[in-house]
Structure 1
Amino acid sequence: MTDKITCISPVDGSAYASRPLATDAEIAAAFASAHAAQEKWKRVPLAERAAYCSAAVDAMLAMKDEIVPELAWQMGRPVRYGAGELRGFEERARYMISIAAEALETIVPSPKDGFTRYIKREPLGVVFTIAPWNYPYLTAVNSIIPALMAGNTVVLKHAAQTLLVAERFQSAFEKAGLPKGVFQHLVMSHAQTARAISARAANMVCFTGSVAGGKAMEQAAAGCFINMGLELGGKDPAYVRADANMAHAVENLVDGAFFNSGQSCCGIERIYVHKSRWDEFIDGFVSLTKQYVLGSPLDEATTLGPLVKAAAAQFVRGQIEAAVRGGATAHIDPKSFKMDRPGTPYLAPEVLTSVNHQMSVMMEESFGPVVGIMKVADDAEAISLMNDSPYGLTAAIWTEDEKAAQKIGDEIATGTVFMNRCDYLDPALTWTGVKDTGRGATLSVVGYEALTRPKSYHLRTKI
């Protein structure tokens, strides 16, 4: 087994960062320290916890100028978009801090003579956050800040591709003066991660990643009875109704499909368009897609950076080739994008029509810059196709009729229903999924429920 983890940059294939793996003894010590610190941390008043967390957010934002190019080098997002992740990080963190008092408030049922009754929300203990590379700050903050606000301590294991993100979190909390042991990060292998879970080193695991990764988490936790939150794969659909504002739908759906090179959990991967608006939508969608600039993420002109790895790009190329062999029409010539080079992570965007649900590109998560588009006759056909998926994270409906959107949304098996927008997390709403997308919830007051346990008090005051 290698004794270090290395981030290979998708920009040029170089080794951008390398860190030694923690030893098993260091891992055990870190979790032991987290448990010890939690006994004190849970007694820290909520206002003080908020002050620490707010100071850490401030410290993170102060590092923006270093973080943006780091993100480009580590996972390929163009520098012109790098600051956007930090804006989202701040929005979620500050919102979850602001609602903590409400979310953690003691529940008091209606009075009963002779009794004092209430339900407290107790912290779970140690939360083990296992974060992915595609939105390394946004995904991690979903659990880290509310976990700390709820009185838990946190151990973060970040993806190998974004090693430096964990260090940025550590630095921010240290600059905020957070007590020792309340937040720690570890560089761990998959095997070490599984052993820590199996050993019940933590009281909860918050994992964002692939379906295969989620299954590995559950296998490691089998019989341990620890809490687990899993945000896994997605194949998020959009439906463009006959009454949609077409210019708005085209602009937002192109962005929803290709932002971050399609490497978004809730990115749009399949679109269903009412037959009466088909030509108009396809013409606009293809035209706008052709305006993307594929290139180095370090170049301010670039709007489409490389995928995270050459293997990821090759997987998407394989989906496109298989779809075309099966009768799909490809509307974008990769040769028109000079940086598109087989064998590299640089991949041109692709728009496919004449697709069907027998094709991998319409059923299996692509996580790349490709989208399949199908014509539908009515709402019923669109609903049927949107539900024909092993995943269910978000679904977007493009219409001028809010009641129709609500009615359609009621019929879709998904965690979030959007109308006239997509690919966004509102921290006031819970983030969750159904089917193979996972289980559990983050953000909103519901997210706090997952990071606490109820404890009932039934006190008889009259004997």
Structure 2
Amino acid sequence: MSDTATPLAYTRTARTQIEEFKNHIDGKWSASQTGEQFDVINPADTNDVVGRFPASSAADAEAAVRAASSAFASWKKTPISARAKILNRAADYLEANVDRFAAELTREMGKALNLSKDEILRSAQTLRFYAVEGQSFAGETFPNDDPDMIVYTQREPLGVVSVITPWNFPVSIPARKIAPALIAGNTVVFKPSSDAPLSGYRLVEAFVAAGVPNGVLNFIVGRASEVGPAITVPPVVRAISFTGSTAAGEAIHRSVAFTTRTQMELGGKNPLIVMEDADLDKAVDLTVKGGLSLSGQACTGTSRVLVMKQVKAAFTEKLVSKVKALKVGSGMVAGNDIGPLATPRQLETVLRYIEIGKREATLLCGGERLTGPGYISGYYVSPAIFTDVTLDMRIAREEIFGPVIGIMEVTSYVDAIAKANDTEYGLSAAIATRNPRYIHDFANDIEAGTVKINRTTTGNLINAPFGGLKRSSTSTFRESGRGALEFYTQIKTIYRGC
């Protein structure tokens, strides 16, 4: 998943009537100690400034870590029912403000308004899930031969944890990290992407309105190069949950203390296999939804479609026809299918890969920077479909994180699996087929942490574990479900005599 921040435009003072937002450290909303700020721009209309945020320094980050450390002892002892009430009240706040927060989310990163609303409501659901699940997550009692002894385990929080999140799901990804951390009794330092910090701010605002104690949840905005080491390297930080690029995740993983846990959900190059018996209309629908929703800016998005030779021509014709009919435009306008790319840097990256693809493969449609009426002030690209893609091509191997799909021909199930697995990534994979044998074998043969059968490569349940294999994840602890609670707790084994 790409999480490269756009260079920040710093300002010392507000020049226009733009809403300003602050960090939240030790229960107080505060400006950066540097006094510097940066503007977040609407990717659908670069004349629209969504908000102005603090460009924080290492000193600000250090203050957030100190606040979290000081608050830990008290929060650890807070009854779990009281923690659960805070999560539920925060969920109430998100639901009560869903329309306003969804509009802000669309303005800051471009996704369709209905998808933004779904994300806010899903985040509220995530908080409610952990408010319940956290109260039943406990240790075990073990039989033994001594009648005067009881042996049992108890789960305890780790301490200070850092949560670092990307811009493509700026509420739901933080929610699925922060909620299990808090219900388990940890304190949190939360750094959102500087490309979409407002939605993270609103999530923290929900917790503040819900009565989270001072220092328990701290929010800091700024460049990763400035604040990152201060919230990851100190030994007092006991765990780091990061979603972003593989390169950034590996750098964090190498830099932290031996005693610091890491949970890294990183890049993907996710395949959809279309077998000869597949319903081709459904396979096309899966391709479009998995690869082009969110303008292809999803870590689990479909980027490679491996199609059996005997149906490739028919599938390709149907896919190109459907893609050409898609409407590109602002996510605020109902009926538009594909919004803008989230940042100018993401636009530049996608256009660069499209040019690489033109030299490597055959471009069937799209791949153009849209600049006409309705597009001139936004980061719009028409979705690109390439065919004649082979494994040695860069567009087949490197994560693009945009509306670009490559079609690869395969001649058998074995050939399809071999090509699907020939990647450094292993986040998500799907197959379109009616054949029970293919379905059974695919679940066992594919090298991916999330396996979909006749479903899109994107999407996951809040109560099921989520994560990748190979360089898509550290593969230590999973996000979502009870696995997230395991990450944020440690076990003591206790032998108690009478």
- Unaligned ranges ≥5, structure 2: 1-7, 11-35
1:452 and 2:489 aligned: yes
Residue 57 of structure 1 aligns with which residue? 91
SS in 2 for 1:361: helix
Residue 250 of structure 1 aligns with which residue? 284
Q: 2:164 aligns with which of 100, 106, 130?
A: 130
1:4 and 2:37 aligned: yes
**1:29: Cα distance to partner?**
3.0
CA distance in 1, matches of 2:259, 2:75: 24
Q: 1:373 aligns with which of 398, 407, 418?
A: 407
Letter matched to residue 250 of structure 1: V
Distance 1:339 1:287, change over 3 A: farther
Q: Spell out, residue by residue over 1:15-56, the C-alpha distance to the aligned partner (whole angstroms, 9 max, x if none).
A: 432222345444333322222222122222222211110110
Percent of residue pairs identical: 30
Residue 68 of structure 2 aligns with which residue? 34
Q: 1:163 aligns with which of 197, 207, 214?
A: 197
SS in 2 for 1:229: strand
SS in 2 for 1:16: strand
Distance 1:21 1:159, change over 3 A: same
Instruction: Say whether the 8 Å CA contact 1:340–1:346 is kept in structure 2.
Output: no
1:139 and 2:176 aligned: no
CA distance in 2, matches of 1:339, 1:265: 31
**1:300: Cα distance to partner?**
2.0
Q: Which moved more, 1:179-188 or 1:375-384?
A: 179-188
Residue 424 of structure 1 aligns with which residue? 459
1:316 and 2:353 aligned: no
Residue 109 of structure 1 aligns with which residue? 142
Distance 1:249 1:327, change over 3 A: closer
**1:276: Cα distance to partner?**
2.6
Instruction: Say whether the 8 Å CA contact 1:334–1:340 is kept in structure 2.
Output: no
Distance 1:280 1:403, change over 3 A: same
**1:140: Cα distance to partner?**
0.7
Letter matched to residue 217 of structure 1: I
CA distance in 2, matches of 1:43, 1:249: 52
1:214 and 2:253 aligned: no
Distance 1:60 1:336, change over 3 A: closer
**1:119: Cα distance to partner?**
1.2
CA distance in 1, matches of 2:292, 2:493: 48
Letter matched to residue 216 of structure 2: V
Structure richer in helix, relative to its length: 1
Letter matched to residue 200 of structure 1: P
Aligned length: 459
Letter matched to residue 243 of structure 2: T
Instruction: Say whether the 8 Å CA contact 2:46–2:377 is kept in structure 1.
Output: no
1:200 and 2:200 aligned: no
Q: Spell out, residue by residue over 1:297-328, the C-alpha distance to the aligned partner (whole angstroms, 9 max, x if none).
A: 23223221110123322322222222222242
1:66 and 2:100 aligned: yes
CA distance in 2, matches of 1:324, 1:31: 48
Q: Spell out, residue by residue over 1:198-238, the C-alpha distance to the aligned partner (whole angstroms, 9 max, x if none).
A: 223421111111112113312431x4521111111111111
Distance 1:171 1:287, change over 3 A: same
SS in 2 for 1:136: coil
Distance 1:335 1:6, change over 3 A: closer
Residue 415 of structure 1 aligns with which residue? 449
Letter matched to residue 100 of structure 1: G
Residue 110 of structure 2 aligns with which residue? 76
Q: 2:211 aligns with which of 177, 189, 199?
A: 177
Q: Spell out, residue by residue over 1:327-384, the C-alpha distance to the aligned partner (whole angstroms, 9 max, x if none).
A: 4242347499957979962100011111111211111001000100112111111110
Distance 1:284 1:88, change over 3 A: farther
Distance 1:272 1:24, change over 3 A: closer
Instruction: Say whether the 8 Å CA contact 2:195–2:343 is kept in structure 1.
Output: no
Residue 288 of structure 1 aligns with which residue? 322
SS in 1 for 2:205: helix
**1:110: Cα distance to partner?**
2.6
Q: 2:364 aligns with which of 323, 327, 330?
A: 330
Q: 1:151 aligns with which of 164, 185, 192?
A: 185
CA distance in 2, matches of 1:255, 1:112: 58
SS in 2 for 1:129: strand
**1:137: Cα distance to partner?**
0.8
SS in 2 for 1:426: coil
Instruction: Say whether the 8 Å CA contact 1:131–1:159 is kept in structure 2.
Output: yes
CA distance in 2, matches of 1:123, 1:411: 37
CA distance in 2, matches of 1:355, 1:340: 33
- Unaligned ranges ≥5, structure 1: none
Instruction: Say whether the 8 Å CA contact 1:34–1:155 is kept in structure 2.
Output: yes
Instruction: Say whether the 8 Å CA contact 1:340–1:347 is kept in structure 2.
Output: no
Residue 45 of structure 1 aligns with which residue? 79
Q: Which moved more, 1:80-89 or 1:62-71?
A: 80-89
Q: Which moved more, 1:233-242 or 1:320-329?
A: 320-329
Residue 19 of structure 2 aligns with which residue? none
Instruction: Say whether the 8 Å CA contact 1:286–1:332 is kept in structure 2.
Output: no
How high is the TM-score relative to the length of structure 1?
Answer: 0.93
SS in 2 for 1:431: coil
CA distance in 1, matches of 2:42, 2:55: 19
**1:185: Cα distance to partner?**
0.7
1:442 and 2:479 aligned: yes
Residue 306 of structure 1 aligns with which residue? 340
CA distance in 2, matches of 1:311, 1:340: 20
Distance 1:91 1:382, change over 3 A: farther
CA distance in 1, matches of 2:374, 2:471: 32
